[in-house]
Amino acid sequence: MRPALDADQLDRYSRHVIMDEVGPDGQQRLLDGRALVIGAGGLGSPVIQYLAAAGVGTIGIVDDDVVERSNLQRQVVHGDADVGTPKVESAMRYVDRLNPDIDIETHQTRLDVDNARELIGSYDVVVDCADNFRTRYVVNDAARIESRPAVHGAIYKFEGQATTLVPDGPCYRCLFPEAPEPGTVPDCAATGVLGVLPGTVGCLQATEAIKL
């Protein structure tokens, strides 16, 4: 438990603190919270932005990729100077500039069956911003076993979806029992994606995580 909000925090989070539904106790819960973001790309960027701005005190970021110039049309925590650097490092620098209250834990790795339970089990909520079906199913299974809620998001060209999966409710496999055959659903490198779309869906995911 962190100490009570100091003067700077009361100022920074004043629009939360004055809300009856949040207040100082709710803001303290955000500051004490731990969220794991899977992916620091199109969806992960706005999730990281708004969780950090809202004061979620510890944010873990899992991504094994580096920033490419083609990412910059939608992945807004990265800039031109970050091209070629690991996304987790670029995202951490962004958050450091945005909000000094936030502790960033970087995991420069690909989430898989060998590390998913350990990673997910050390956070309160997981936000699934993965760009492939294999990772989504791994996130789902590990979150179920570790009894952690998972906020899922996905995008395709002009459309997206988001949903929250809680431990005592339906899971991702309940919605989608089997993954599509490899190669049957093209990624954005093949089909393109409207740059603002992941921002829209990612903001919904951040909202759901904050509600949890």
Q: Whose CA is closest to 32, among 166, 98, 97, 124?
A: 124
Q: What backbone torsions phi and psi does residue 202 show, to the nearest 5 degrees?
A: -60, -35
Burial of 24 (0-12, 13-18, 19+ CB in 10 A): middle
Q: Where are the beta strands (DSSP E) in the chain?
A: 34-38, 58-62, 103-107, 125-128, 150-156, 159-165
Q: Catalytic residue positions?
A: 188
Residues whose CB is less than 8 angstroms from the CB of residue 185 and which lie 6 or more positions away in sequence, other chains included: 133, 156
Cβ contact 36:86 at 8 Å? no
Token readout for 77 is 């925590």
Place of tokens 């809300």: 19
